[in-house]
Amino acid sequence: MDHTQEELDRAYDQRVWAPNADEVIARYATASAEVRARVRREADLRYGPTADETLDWFPTAAGAPVLVFVHGGAWRGGRKAQYSFPAEPLVAAGAHYVALDFACIPSVRLPEMAAQVRRGIAWVSANARRFGADPGRLHLAGHSSGAHLAAVAALAEPAPVVRSALCVSGTYDLRATLLSSRGAYIAVSREEEDALSPCRHAGRLPCPVTIACGERESPEFRRMALEFDAALRRAGRPSELVVAPGLNHFEVLETLGRPDGLLARVVLRQMGLA
C-alpha cells in the first residue's frame, strides 16, 4: 500500500491521531461509574467457563430488544466496567444493554477472544427471556478491536440470532494490521488471518451492518471502513457507512452514550426504537 514501516505503524497507533485519547478514555470510566450508580443492572453474570467470561446486563421493559456491546482495546486491554455509559440512554429508550467482558492478548490468542465473544452472544440469546428481553431482537455493536470481534462473531451466527450489527472504528482485514507493529503480539497463522478477516467473507454476514468511523480517524481506519462497506455491497449484503464529523477514534464512541448522539440514533433505529 506504498507505506513505509514507520508510516504503517503510525497508522495503527490511534494516539498519534487522537492526542486527547487518555482524557476521553478517562471520561468513559467516569461516565460509566455514574451510570452504574443510577441504572439497575445484573452484574458479573458468568457466560462461559473462564473467569474473564462475564457480562453486565442493564434491563428495561419486558419484550424489548437487547444490544450486546463488545469493547475495544487493541485486543490487549479494556474491561466492561469502562463501557457502562451507553446503558442509560438505551435503557431509557426501551432497549436492554449488555456489556461483555472477555480475555485479551496475551492471556489468550485472538481466535479464543473471538470464541469467547461468540459464547457471550449465544448466552445472551439463550437467556434473554430470563431478563425480559426478546431473543428474536438481539443486536450487536463493537468499537475498535471490539468492532472487529463483533464482525467476526456475526459471521459465525445463524441469521435469526443477530438482527443487526454496528461496527465502529474497526479493522476488518487483518493483513495490514499484521504488517504493522501490532502483528508482533497478534501472531496468527495465515489460515487464522483469513478466518478472522470479515471483509473477505462479506457474503456470509447474515444481518444488516452499519459501519461507522470518525472523520479524524487515521487514514488506515477510514480506509478499512470504506473497504468493508464496499465488500458488503459487492456481496449484495445490506450495509450503511456513517462518518462522524470532526470526531476521532475515541470521541466517536461517546455518541453512543448520548440520547441525541450519532451512534445512539443508529442503534435505536436498527432496533426499531427510533
User: How many structural domains does the chain have?
Assistant: 1
Binned at pLDDT 50, 70 and 90, residue 159 comes out as low
Q: Which domain holds residue 258?
A: 5-270
pLDDT higher than threshold 90 for residue 3: no
Binned at pLDDT 50, 70 and 90, residue 138 comes out as very high
In angstroms, the first-to-last Cα distance of the chain is 40
What whole-number distance in Å separates Cα of residue 59 and Cα of residue 48? 20
Looking up cell 488506515 gives: 220
Cell of 72: 475495544
Is the whole-model pTM more than 0.85? yes
Binned at pLDDT 50, 70 and 90, residue 116 comes out as very high
Per-residue pLDDT of 72-106, as tens digits, reads 999 999 999 999 999 999 999 999 999 999 999 99
pLDDT higher than threshold 90 for residue 32: yes
pLDDT higher than threshold 90 for residue 158: no
Task: Give me the pLDDT at residue 156, please.
Answer: 83
CATH number of the CATH domain containing 144:
3.40.50.1820
Mean per-residue pLDDT for 121-127?
97
**Whole-number average pLDDT of the chain:** 96
